Amino acid sequence: MYPSTLTQLARANPFSAPLFSLQKVEEPGPRRRLAAAAAVDEGDSCEFGSQKYFVLCGFGGILSCGTTHTAVVPLDLVCICSLVDPAKYKSIFNGFSVTVREDGVRGLAKGWAPTFIGYSMQGLCKFGFYEVFKIVYSDLLGEENTYLWRTSLYLAASASAEFFADIALAPMEACKVRIQTQPGYANTLRQCAPKMYAEEGLWAFYKGVVPLWMRQIPYTMMKFACFERTVELLYKYVVPKPRSECSKSEQLVVTFVAGYIAGVFCAIVSHPADSVVSVLNKEKGSTAVGVLKRLGPKGVWKGLVARIIMIGTLTALQWFIYDSVKVYFRLPRPPPPEMPESLKKKLGLTE
């Protein structure tokens, strides 16, 4: 039976799995994890995959997500307002002028507290759990299949991490949108959270979690998988020398470039769900399906250019900060994965 068109497309896409499989072969010696052995290299402050490693990765996630999202609150505010009230906020520049005219310059910082708290918690779970799940899934697959299926591993690990990260983010995201899109409702987090709980109960903070998963899980899968593979390709085809010969500063430049490329794709993938979440958190009693029908195919893509600029810059800075934290604390930073010698022998690539 000939493969269907869907199967052919799936095989042709850049994130496809290998078109062959390998039987599990028991080999002597410890099993290596993705991109690095568990041993402590000279100069590293801890072992790859140790408790200290995961804790500091989580701390790096807090810094990378909490600070960057808070820094772009003004742009985020204008983007959200243009989605929920397009007649009033006609463009990015018009949105800034309307906000400053009505609320002053301080109005551009509206919602900064829930943004900082919410995205700090999200960063802790996103980056921390990603490192955990990446190692767990790698150990389940084994060294050879980990290399062959590495893109699928990145996708699975990042999706698993983001599932928990969004549960941590949802309450603060709901408060942020309510503060930013409903003038007069509340000016601070201390005013907003108790008022929302009194009116709608605990559900007020989690009614947007499913649309949040719809937005953030595809976003994060693209963010991590695209970043990991872009770094691999940059060192293979663009950077004129091996990663081991690059200085820490040069490696961080590669990180920033790969992060920006990943961010552009992230913005496109997640924008429709982001539009739904913004409207959903503004309106009481609304549902994701109802909002989606009302916005229509054209409405869900409104504000995409602004989001690409914001998310591209945001993602690049997040990866740069996260990798800088690893450099500062001397955490293991494995090089891009290479084909194991045992796999090369099976495929006849070595004598």
Among 252, 266, 229, CA closest to 320: 252
Token output for 296: 């229509």
Instruction: Write the pLDDT tens digit of every residue in 137-162.
Output: 999 999 999 999 999 999 999 999 99
The predicted pLDDT at position 39 comes to 44
What is the full DSSP assignment across 245-288?
A: GS-HHHHHHHHHHHHHHHHHHHHHHHHHHHHHHHHHHHSTT--H
The predicted pLDDT at position 227 comes to 96
191 vs 19: CA distance, rounded Å: 56
Instruction: Write the pLDDT tens digit of every residue in 36-75.
Output: 334 456 678 999 999 999 999 999 999 999 999 999 888 8
Does pTM top 0.85 for this prediction?
Answer: no
- The three-state secondary structure class of 33 is strand
Residue with the larger pLDDT of the pair 332 and 3: 332
**Interacting residues of 253 by C-beta distance below 8 A, sequence separation 6+:** none
Please, is 167 exposed, middle or buried when counting C-beta atoms within 10 Å of its C-beta (0-12, 13-18, 19+)? middle
The predicted pLDDT at position 135 comes to 95
Kindly state the average pLDDT of the residues 293-306.
Answer: 79
35: left (phi over 0), alpha (psi -120 to 50) or beta: left
Token output for 45: 């402050």
265 vs 226: CA distance, rounded Å: 8
Token output for 115: 């943004």
Residue with the larger pLDDT of the pair 202 and 3: 202
Instruction: Write the pLDDT tens digit of every residue in 182-230.
Output: 888 888 899 999 999 999 888 889 988 988 898 889 889 999 999 999 9
